[in-house]
């Protein structure tokens, strides 16, 4: 099997795995701090032997400055997981995932502030499109049984999760040359240490189902997912990894519908579609003028 095909399969598998994590978070029935701790702990159990086998645990694999940057990125990633998982109970998995996909715009804003990157008219147009989708979601009624205050809080936490993911991505730009598996290992070790004092919150997990979901999130949704993801990134061009990354929100929305019966209202569907369209346009560098019917006619004439 050629590298490109294998990379596409690895990327698709990683995104399908990511799209099902919300289901496991909900059915685990555990406090979010516990869920993230065990995700990190079980994930570390997978990534430590992988990094050791690849020779990444040598002292010269990462400099002291890069270690501190990776630790800062780990703090951002853990904050991202805590906020995103907390958002599920207020805004539902579908809405939280759609709002979470505003992360490319957060990264553009951070890049402009701290790296002096230029914001083009095309990026502003996609940003305006995503903002319109956000307004539709915010103004829509929450699903039956949900409290309006919790709904808005869930949206706010999903936005916060997107911000911390973008912050981690910004930090990762300064870690060029560091093996990505090693960065992932540092992230989960940071999460394990940071959340250890909160482990007793909510009582000790009991039952095969609870332990099974927690172990699956760590072994499959963290360890295996990172291995597949980074393996795909090494084999695929950027535009393909960007395109395949949108499997994740689609799977998450389908899982939310099938597992919990959550359906999106018309305004929420339009809002989520606008956010995902804008995120795809931003990530893949689509020329937004081509989407306008009169511009399409001009280009074809």
> Cβ contacts of residue 197 below 8 Å, gap of 6+?
none
Could you tell me if 103 and 162 are in contact, meaning their C-beta atoms sit under 8 angstroms apart?
yes
Residue 114's nearest CA partner among 173, 73, 175 is 173
Per-residue confidence band for 159, with pLDDT thresholds at 50, 70 and 90 = very high
The percentage of the chain sitting over the pLDDT mark of 90, rounded to a whole number, equals 57
Please return the burial class of 100, using the count of CB atoms within 10 Å of its CB with bins 0-12, 13-18 and 19+: buried
E-state strands within the chain: none
pLDDT at 98: 92
- Cα dihedral across residues 187, 188, 194, 195: positive or negative: positive
**Residue pLDDT, tens place only, 29-52:** 999 999 999 999 999 999 999 999
Q: What is the DSSP string of 57-111?
A: TSGGGS-HHHHHHHHHHHHHHHHHHHHHHHHHHHHHHHHHHHHHTTHHHHHHHHH
What is the distance between the alpha carbons of residues 7 and 239, in angstroms, rounded to a whole number? Answer: 13
- With a cut of 60, say whether residue 8 has pLDDT above it: yes
What is the distance between the alpha carbons of residues 257 and 243, in angstroms, rounded to a whole number? Answer: 23
Identify the residue with better confidence: 108 or 202: 108
- CA distances 121 to 222, 280, 284, 289, Å, are 37, 16, 15, 11
> Model's pTM, two decimal places?
0.88
Per-residue confidence band for 237, with pLDDT thresholds at 50, 70 and 90 = confident
* Phi, psi (degrees; rounded to nearest 5) at 70: -65, -35
**Residue pLDDT, tens place only, 165-175:** 999 989 988 89
What is the distance between the alpha carbons of residues 130 and 105, in angstroms, rounded to a whole number? Answer: 9
> Cβ contacts of residue 158 below 8 Å, gap of 6+?
83, 84, 87, 91, 95, 96, 97, 99, 100
> Cβ contacts of residue 65 below 8 Å, gap of 6+?
none
């Amino acid at each position: 099997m050629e590298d490109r095909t294998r990379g596409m399969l690895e990327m698709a598998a990683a995104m399908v795995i990511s799209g099902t994590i919300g289901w496991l978070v909900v059915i685990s029935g555990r406090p979010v701090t516990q869920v993230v701790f065990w995700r990190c702990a079980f994930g570390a159990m997978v990534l430590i032997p992988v990094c050791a086998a690849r020779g990444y645990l040598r002292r010269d694999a990462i400099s002291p400055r890069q270690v501190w940057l990776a630790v800062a990125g780990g703090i951002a990633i853990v904050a991202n997981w805590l906020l995103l998982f907390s958002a599920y109970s207020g805004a539902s998995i579908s809405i939280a995932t759609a709002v979470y996909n505003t992360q490319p715009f957060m990264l553009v804003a951070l890049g402009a502030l701290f790296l002096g990157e230029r914001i083009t008219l095309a990026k502003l147009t996609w940003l305006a499109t995503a903002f319109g989708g956000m307004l539709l979601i915010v103004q829509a009624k929450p699903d039956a049984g949900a409290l309006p205050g919790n709904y808005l809080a869930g949206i706010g936490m999903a936005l916060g999760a997107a911000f911390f993911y973008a912050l981690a991505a910004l930090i990762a730009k300064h870690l060029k040359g560091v093996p990505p598996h090693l960065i992932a290992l540092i992230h989960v070790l940071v999460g394990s240490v940071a959340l250890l004092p909160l482990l007793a919150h909510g009582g000790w997990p009991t039952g095969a189902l609870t332990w099974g979901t927690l172990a699956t999130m760590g072994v499959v949704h963290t360890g295996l997912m990172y291995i597949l993801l980074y393996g795909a990134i090494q084999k695929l061009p950027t535009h393909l990894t960007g395109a395949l990354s949108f499997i994740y929100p689609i799977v998450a929305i389908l899982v939310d519908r099938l597992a919990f019966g959550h359906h999106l209202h018309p305004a929420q569907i339009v809002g989520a579609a606008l956010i995902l369209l804008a995120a795809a346009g931003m990530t893949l560098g689509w020329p937004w003028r081509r989407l306008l019917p009169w511009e399409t006619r001009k280009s074809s004439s």
